[in-house]
């Protein structure tokens, strides 16, 4: 959510990387905040001892897995943006589709310190310095905008600026970067209400407990189209100072497979795959008006 759950342009350019199906040649570690891991040469084969289960790529996400990130709450079908990205990364690493196993990891647990039961988690997880102290991240596969969702008959439905929400009761999902985005940019007179799930947010909105929901733009599209009969997407906004919110693949801290995953993702960005998948699954996001102060 942002996850925000959590924009609308994916990073489509990256340094070209040659990734063999059988393994990755040693490369220097990325110095970007989103990449971490051991600096020594990595074993990037499908039988690497760094894998949670050698011979299998174990991928995590939350349940339920929402559209447009996934389809029909079935990550293994390859449909939805993040499912498609996960299988593309798997393919670059040399895994066949039937070698990918999906497991459930609640969003709020994903970036907690400690051992993980998967190789990477893909779940609209924003790359932040604080989270990177406990886990590794790949580079970014998506640059996210926040968006405001309300009801068509709300007094905030026709708002054209962030300042218009000063007196609004805003709802956000727990453990997401949406909370800080609301404080920093909408600056409401009362703190945002925090909910465990997006369904809880929708219930609060329809019951009049809150005036609007703030989360990532693609999730807002899903909520407006599938969960609300009279929802209205008011607009989208980036982060103050122009700092983008970026989603990365999350790995266990100091995983020996981090550089492998990062190189696979870099190759997919360089060859246009990530841009193509963004257009295929998230193209509607581009037409939402931008909210300024």
Chain segment 222-260, per-residue pLDDT in tens: 899 889 999 999 999 987 655 678 999 999 999 999 999
Residue span(s) of the chain under CATH 3.40.190.10 come to 1-144+244-284, 146-237
Q: Determine if the pTM surpasses 0.85.
A: no
At residue 270, the pLDDT reads 98
What DSSP state is assigned to residue 239?
Answer: -
Alpha helices in 165-207 (DSSP H): 178-181, 198-206
Structure tokens at 130: 């604080």
Which tokens is 201 given? 């947010």
Mean pLDDT of 128-140: 96
Rounded average pLDDT over 112-121:
97
**Token pair in block for residue 267:** 């190759």
CATH number of 146-237: 3.40.190.10
In the sheet with 146-151, reading across from the earlier edge strand, the strands are: 193-195, 170-173, 212-216, 146-151, 231-237
CATH topology of domain 1-144+244-284: D-Maltodextrin-Binding Protein; domain 2 (3.40.190)
């Amino acid at each position: 959510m942002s996850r925000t759950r959590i924009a609308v342009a994916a990073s489509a350019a990256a340094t070209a990387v040659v990734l063999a199906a059988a393994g990755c040649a040693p490369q220097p570690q990325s110095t970007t905040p989103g990449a971490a891991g051991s600096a020594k040469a990595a074993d990037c084969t499908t039988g690497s001892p760094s894998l949670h289960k050698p011979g299998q790529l174990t991928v995590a996400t939350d349940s339920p897995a929402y559209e447009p990130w996934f389809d029909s709450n079935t990550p293994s079908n390859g449909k939805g943006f993040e499912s498609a990205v996960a299988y593309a990364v798997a393919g670059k690493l040399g895994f066949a589709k039937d070698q990918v196993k999906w497991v459930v990891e609640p969003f709020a647990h994903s970036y907690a310190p400690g051992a993980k039961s998967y190789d990477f988690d893909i779940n609209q997880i924003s790359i932040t310095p604080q989270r990177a102290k406990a886990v590794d991240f790949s580079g970014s596969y998506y640059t996210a905008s926040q968006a405001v969702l309300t009801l068509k008959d709300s007094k905030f439905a026709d708002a054209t600026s962030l300042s218009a929400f000063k007196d609004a009761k805003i709802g956000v999902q727990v453990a997401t970067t949406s909370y800080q985005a609301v404080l920093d940019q909408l600056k409401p007179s009362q703190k945002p209400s925090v909910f465990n799930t997006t369904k809880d947010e929708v219930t609060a909105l329809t019951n009049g407990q809150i005036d609007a929901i703030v989360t990532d733009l693609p999730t807002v599209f899903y909520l407006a189209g599938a969960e609300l009969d009279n929802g209205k997407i008011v607009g989208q906004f980036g982060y103050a100072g122009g700092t983008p919110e970026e989603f990365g693949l999350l790995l266990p801290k100091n995983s020996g497979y981090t550089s492998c995953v990062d190189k696979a993702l870099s190759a997919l960005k360089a060859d246009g795959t990530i841009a193509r998948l963004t257009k295929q699954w998230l193209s509607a996001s581009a037409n939402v008006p931008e909210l300024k102060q």
